[in-house]
Structure 1
Amino acid sequence: MKIRVLSSKDEIENLDENEEMVHLAFRPSNTDIFSIVSKCTNLKALHIPSSYKRTLSESAKMFLDMQGINLLEGDVWGHRKDINEYSEVSDNIYNRIKELKDEGLSDDEIVDKMKKETKLGPDFVEFLIKQKYA
């Protein structure tokens, strides 16, 4: 899965309408979130650092919930925006989730294991499982 990384508010106008997941590397306002959702009609999730998520208004969270858009917590570790505007979830992550599924682990057990094995947040791993196996 490709994750479009936005470093500033100025990049919102350059978003493709088909983006499914956007990582915000800046503290978004309610207006920024509304603009992103309006621009990206296929948006499934917003991914933001935990410090930004804690300061997000309840109305913004409620708006995303009403739109059916997941609000995920985390960072895109080691991503160089100057090289590529997208970060990508490695096939290794999906392969590991599949291995754990094949071993008969529940989604909660997979989330716990993946949280320990990777730097991915639990809500992000849960989102990946739902996208791939729902």
Structure 2
Amino acid sequence: MKIRVVSSKEEIENLDENEEIVHLAFRPSNTDIFSLVMKCPNLKALHIPSSYKRTISSSAKMFLDMQGIGLLEGDVWGHRKDINEYSEVSKNVYKRIKDLKESGVSDEDIVDRMVKETRLSEDFIQFLMKQQESPETPKATVSK
């Protein structure tokens, strides 16, 4: 899964309308979030650092929820945007989740293990698990 990394408000206008997951590396305003959703109608999740997530207004959260767009917290560790504008979730992460599920590990334990193994956030792991269960679903919501 590719995550489009956006470093500034100005980049929103240049996004491909087919983007599904966008990481905002800046503190977004309500207008930025609205513009992003209008520019990318297929958006499934908005990924932002935890310090920025705490400052998102309740109206923006409600708007995202009404659109069926997950608000995920986390960073894109070690990503260099000057080399590639996308960060990618390794196929090994999906394989590990699948293997744990097939071994009968509970969803909660899978999330706990994957958070420790991957440094991805809890809600992002939950999002990936939902995507694995129903990849044909056009929009997925993540609650936390």
TM-score by length of 1: 0.98
State the Cα distance separating 1:88 from its structure 2 match: 0.4
Give the Cα–Cα distance (whole angstroms) in 1 for the partners of residues 98 and 41 of structure 2. 29
Give the Cα–Cα distance (whole angstroms) in 2 for the partners of residues 105 and 14 of structure 1. 42
Q: Which has the higher helix share?
A: 1
Structure 2, gaps ≥5 residues long: 135-144
Q: What whole-Å deviation, never above 9, does each CA across 1:31-52 have from its counterpart, x for those lacking one?
A: 0000000000100000000000
Give the Cα–Cα distance (whole angstroms) in 2 for the partners of residues 41 and 111 of structure 1. 29
State the Cα distance separating 1:121 from its structure 2 match: 0.2
State the Cα distance separating 1:115 from its structure 2 match: 0.9
For residues 1-134 of structure 1, what are the structure 2 equivalents within 5 Å? 1-134=1-134
Give the Cα–Cα distance (whole angstroms) in 2 for the partners of residues 22 and 118 of structure 1. 19
Which one-letter code corresponds to 1:95 in the other structure? K
Deviation beyond 4 Å, 4+ runs, structure 1: none
- Percent identity of equivalent pairs: 78
State the Cα distance separating 1:87 from its structure 2 match: 0.4
Give the Cα–Cα distance (whole angstroms) in 1 for the partners of residues 65 and 59 of structure 2. 10
State the Cα distance separating 1:107 from its structure 2 match: 1.5
Give the Cα–Cα distance (whole angstroms) in 2 for the partners of residues 72 and 49 of structure 1. 8
Give the Cα–Cα distance (whole angstroms) in 2 for the partners of residues 2 and 116 of structure 1. 21
SS in 2 for 1:120: coil
Which one-letter code corresponds to 2:120 in the other structure? L
Which one-letter code corresponds to 2:72 in the other structure? L
Give the Cα–Cα distance (whole angstroms) in 1 for the partners of residues 89 and 75 of structure 2. 12
Q: What whole-Å deviation, never above 9, does each CA across 1:70-121 have from its counterpart, x for those lacking one?
A: 0000000000000000000001111111110111112111101101111100
Give the Cα–Cα distance (whole angstroms) in 2 for the partners of residues 90 and 105 of structure 1. 21
Structure 1, gaps ≥5 residues long: none
